[in-house]
Amino acid sequence: MFGFLKKKETPQINETLYAVTTGKVIPISEVNDPVFSQKMMGDGFAVIPETGEIYAPIEGKVLSVFQTKHAVGMKMTNGLEVLLHMGIDTVELNGAPFTINVTEGTKVSPETLIATVDLDAITSAGKATDMVIVITNMDLVKQFDLSKTGQVRAGEAVGTAKA
């Protein structure tokens, strides 16, 4: 009857980070690129992929898809912004090895296929295939934990990021 007497529903906030593909999870400090390994863009992790099917690392929505298709920016339901960077120095490949399946505004979850990547094309170009996940607005991060490293399957929880 009176709306102000009802309890407000608290929005579901998911703080979990997921493996974007099947492969080996490594801390971001082990990525063979100083911009990532020295955490210049933020903290996170990478997956050395066994397959070219790349899924969302979070529950949230797509903020941007880079014109060169090598990176996708997303926002978690808790407000943290995450960059999925596919490969190292792959901006130079002008999108050739990437097929992007999402657009700006797409709601994503760990079941969402973000991209299909031709891993052979990346390695043939002399580039590393690391799928790097970086939290770019670290000033809002209260706590980041990478709870699982080593072999994982796509969609497996590997850590948390609390805002």
Active site residue ranges = 85
Classify residue 40 as left (phi > 0), alpha (psi -120 to 50) or beta.
alpha
Domain coordinates of the chain in residue numbers? 25-162
User: What's the pTM?
Assistant: 0.92
**Mean pLDDT (10-residue bins), the chain, 163 residues:** 54 86 98 96 98 97 97 96 97 96 97 98 97 97 96 98 94
Given this model, what pLDDT does residue 14 score?
80
Taking the CB of residue 97, how many other CB atoms lie within 10 A of it?
25
- Strand pairing partners for 108? 60
The one-letter amino acid at 74: M
Given this model, what pLDDT does residue 161 score?
96
Given this model, what pLDDT does residue 13 score?
74
- Strand pairing partners for 48? 24
Answer for the pair 54, 81: CB distance below 8 angstroms, yes or no. no
Given this model, what pLDDT does residue 4 score?
56
Given this model, what pLDDT does residue 99 score?
98
Q: If you write DSSP's letter for every residue of 13-67 in order, what string do you get?
A: ---EEE-SSSEEEEEGGGSSSHHHHTTSS-EEEEEEESSSEEE-SSSEEEEEE-T
CATH 3.90.230.10 fits 25-162, yes or no: no
Query: How far, in whole angstroms, is CA 150 from its chain's centroid?
Result: 17
